[in-house]
Chain A
Amino acid sequence: MRWCLALLVCCLLAAVNALSSSGSRLLAVLEDTDQKDLYSTLWADLEARGYDVSIESPKSDQLALFKHGERAYDHLLILPPKSKGLGPSLTPKHIVDFMNKDGNILLALSGKASTSSAVSSLLLELDIHLANDRSAVVIDHFNYDTLSAAEKHDVLVLQRPGPLRTDVKAFFDGEGVLALPRVAPQTLGGESTLLAPILSAPATAYSYNPKEGVPAPEDILATGSQLNIVSSMQARNSARFTVLGSVEALEDKWFSASVKTPSGTETPTVNREFAKQLTAWAFKETGVLKVDKVEHRLATEGSELNPSIYRIKNETVYKIEVSEYVYDKWVPFELPGDDELQLEFTMLSPFHRLPLKPIGRTETSTIFSAQFVTPDQHGIFSFRVNYKRPFFTAIEEKHEVTVRHFAHDEYPRSWVITGGWVWIAGLWAVIGGFLAFVVVWLYSAPVADKLKKTQ
């Protein structure tokens, strides 16, 4: 009876905590803990989604990201500090170590005061750049809130972002407008595949330091869509680092505000919705992929499952089941837009790279399959599925198999090869001739007349 009760409690706990796919311990770093009431709706929303939120000041002595060498928290939300750094327990090195151990980070910036140099150097490690003087603000004279920033034009009013490309899933889209007060812009390095912008500024936006007057042309860091308001970095271990340019957008005030652009009408903001989408993605409630099952076999009926050896030119079937985590459950994964899940049959380099087509689905996963003929090259091959896309955690599946040559008795027989008939006929002609010779030698009588004539 007590067993049952314990089990029930465990199940309940699991149900409450199983919200994010990678744990529920969330540390919010807030320099002035008195300010936490400004974000009370955010904390309430996070706790309602199952997070175990602890709010600490970076100056606190007890604050440590690691305990006994393991992560003490699963996720980290850093609100911008006013002082120069984040303290001794949140140095850039600690934060990068936290990511290396699969911890997720959401870093909020603010254009109200200049960003601390510790945060700036942390971002530089990830190839995310801030303005040189770290105190730039994004201004747009076309998409600002006329109600709250009629003079300064520094409260941007933007639509939620659509898909980044046609083959990328839109995790942050939807109806309604966002109010983004005093955004600290970021620019992204062009070389990294790990960086992806979530929300870019409109084409007419630019950044400048509000403490200075009219910016000289050479002082303008970047303009238009080069300026990012929200950007993301997903490391190779799929740990996520999200930068939000405007911390004020998370405040209760902006969750329930109404805004009006110069040309539009007064509309309520959807900041609360967007904050949910953004924190859900940042803390791995969305965009998490999982491989449930991998099967490969010969295309013939009743063949062995996942054999370790194939022959060259075998017709082979490969199947993979993929699930996607959406907020609180695993659902069948659907490919976004014109994207493809690709199977590679590789020995050093891919011999085949084929699209895997969805052929069916289970309750929680989609079954993708491809059929192909193994190449006419023997060796150690592997079935590889290497699916890395912006905003999705990486799938890397590698299954090694041997591809052998034809065995001696698997070649076609000589009489099947028409070109060999001449040689077969020759062989039997020799055999026939030999038998005839034996008979003639055994039973031939001398031809007396002819012998006599020649003698």
Chain B
Amino acid sequence: MHLWQATASFCLLAATAVPGVAASAWGFTDATVAVQPKGAGINGGFKDQLTPSKPLASPVSLVGADTLRVILTAQEGSSAKRPHQAFLLLKDGQTGLDISYPFSVKDNGKSRVELTQKDLPIQFLSLSNPVDARVVLGGFGDSTAYDSSVFQLSIDRNPEEAVPTVETERYGKKPEINHIFKDSASSPPIVITLAFVAMVGATIPVLAGLWHLLGANVSHLPTAFQSAPLSHATFLGSLIAFEGLLFLYYTSWSLFAFLPAAGVIGTIAFVSGSRALGEVQGRRLAGRR
């Protein structure tokens, strides 16, 4: 019941309001936009007329310490009047930033706003595209408010000056980090290694050749093996076995496998070696070496 009454009264209200809306809408006239460079006279710099119906074709540039000034006379219908809201609204379509600067309005509707880059939030200074400058006029009651783009404002900076940035932390994902590993150890080219290995390997034949030139020989081998075959064979065998033991230790054995084996082979080498060297001494005492 209550709702019905309310709706009925609203309908009545709307019915009376509709012709009024068509008659009175906010707008402006006698509007100019001017950019006054620092130090220039009142009429120095850029100046252009603004129309409520259509924005200026080319963007207005606001550089460095210039002052942007917008002057207009607000109208409700066709009579000049002071609006409750008279803003110059800067809006960036890409980032969604918006900020309004209120006009100082006189009772006869004459309004004026001045703006320098210092008045702008620093988020606006780093925008690459011109922002939309809109005039917003509105008041209470049923007259239609006005909000339309009047020109594009290009906020230009001296390219040599750094653009101030905002350093505020917000929760969000952080940049990815991948650990940079140190370079792994590397070997010289295999060719060089093989050349040096060949040089090292060549020392054995060189040594053998030199000894041969000096007259080294193994002529007493049969004699020695005839007089003490067991001790010579065991002594030489134990020396070779000891080197084999070292090889096993290098490739796979642990120290505790190596030590007892080395002890056994060392004892064999000691006992058989003293016998073999006794035979060598016998040869020396016989004057054969």
Chain A residues in the interface with B (C-beta under 8 A): 139, 141-142, 146-147, 150-153, 165, 167, 190-191, 193, 203-204, 206, 214-215, 217, 220, 223-226, 262, 313, 339-340, 342, 344-345, 350-355, 373, 375-376, 388-390, 417-422, 425-426, 429, 431-433, 435-436, 438-440, 442-447, 450
Complex interface bits, B169-205 against A, C-beta within 8 A gives 1, otherwise 0: 1111111111101100101101001101100110110
Task: Name the residue on A nearest B168 (C-beta).
Answer: A190
A432 / chain B contacts, CB cutoff of 8 Å: 204
A421 in complex: contacting residue of B136, B193, B215, CB < 8 Å: B193
B15 within 8 A of A: no
Contact of B240 among A351, A375, A435 (CB under 8 A): A435
A63 to B168, CA, bound (A): 40
Asked if B100 and A375 make an inter-chain contact with CB atoms under 8 angstroms apart, the answer reads no
Please provide the chain B residues from 67 to 103 with a CB less than 8 Å away from any CB of chain A in the complex: 82, 84-85, 87, 89, 91, 96, 98-103
With A150-B17, A353-B175, A446-B289 given, is the CB distance from A225 to B207 under 8 Å?
A: no
B interface residue numbers (CB < 8 A to A)? 10, 13-14, 17, 82, 84-85, 87, 89, 91, 96, 98-105, 136, 138-142, 144-145, 147, 168-179, 181-182, 185, 187-188, 190, 193-194, 196-197, 200-201, 203-204, 207-208, 211, 215-221, 224, 232, 236, 239-240, 243, 246, 276, 280, 288-289
Q: CB distance B232 to A351 under 8 Å?
A: no
A142-B147, A146-B14, A431-B243 known; A353 vs B216 contact (CB < 8 Å): no
Given contacts A224-B99, A421-B193, A443-B219, contact A206 B85 (CB under 8 A): yes
A351 to B180, CA, bound (A): 9
Q: CA–CA, A39 to B218, complex, Å?
A: 119
Say yes or no: B13 contacts A150, CB within 8 Å.
yes
Q: Contact: A444 with B217, CB < 8 Å?
A: yes
Distance in angstroms from B130 CB to nearest chain A CB is 17
**A151-B140, A342-B174, A431-B243 known; A351+B179 contact, CB < 8 A:** yes
Known: A224-B89, A419-B188. A262 touches B144 (CB 8 A): yes
Q: Which of A193, A204, A354, A440 gathers most chain B CB within 10 Å?
A: A204
Contact of A445 among B105, B182, B220 (CB under 8 A): B220
Across-interface contacts of B216 in A (CB, < 8 A)? 440, 444
A440 touches B211 (CB 8 A): yes
Most B CB contacts (10 A, CB to CB) among A152, A353, A389, A435 go to: A353
| A217 engages B147 (CB within 8 Å) | no
A-B contacts, 8 of them at CB < 8 A, read: A151-B141, A204-B85, A223-B98, A390-B170, A421-B197, A440-B217, A443-B217, A445-B288
Quick one: closest A residue to B9, CB to CB?
Answer: A147
A193 near B171: Cβ-Cβ < 8 Å: yes
Q: Is A442 within 8 A of B96, CB to CB?
A: no
CA–CA, A206 and B217, complex, Å: 114
Contact A220 B240, beta carbon cutoff 8 Å: no
**With A204-B147, A443-B224, A444-B219: A418-B200 Cβ-Cβ less than 8 Å:** no
- The reply to whether B221 and A443 contact each other, CB–CB distance below 8 Å, is yes
| Least CB separation from B224: chain A residue | A443
Whether B289 contacts A425 by the Cβ 8 Å rule is no
Interface centre among A220, A353, A389, A445 (most CB of B within 10 A): A445
- Do A350 and B177 touch (CB < 8 A)? yes
Contact B173 A443, beta carbon cutoff 8 Å:
no
Report how far A267 CA is from B184 CA in the complex, Å. 70
With A352-B177, A353-B176 already in contact, 16 other A-B pairs whose C-beta atoms are closer than 8 Å: A142-B145, A193-B171, A204-B87, A204-B138, A206-B85, A223-B100, A224-B99, A342-B176, A354-B176, A419-B193, A420-B187, A433-B203, A436-B207, A436-B211, A438-B239, A440-B211
A224 touching B177 in the complex, CB below 8 Å, given contacts A419-B188, A426-B200, A435-B243: no
| Residues on the A chain within 8 Å of B190, using CB | 418
Residue of B nearest to A386 (CB): B174
How far is the CB of B194 from the nearest CB of chain A, in Å? Answer: 8
Whether A217 contacts B177 in the complex (CB less than 8 A), given A153-B140, A429-B201, comes out as no
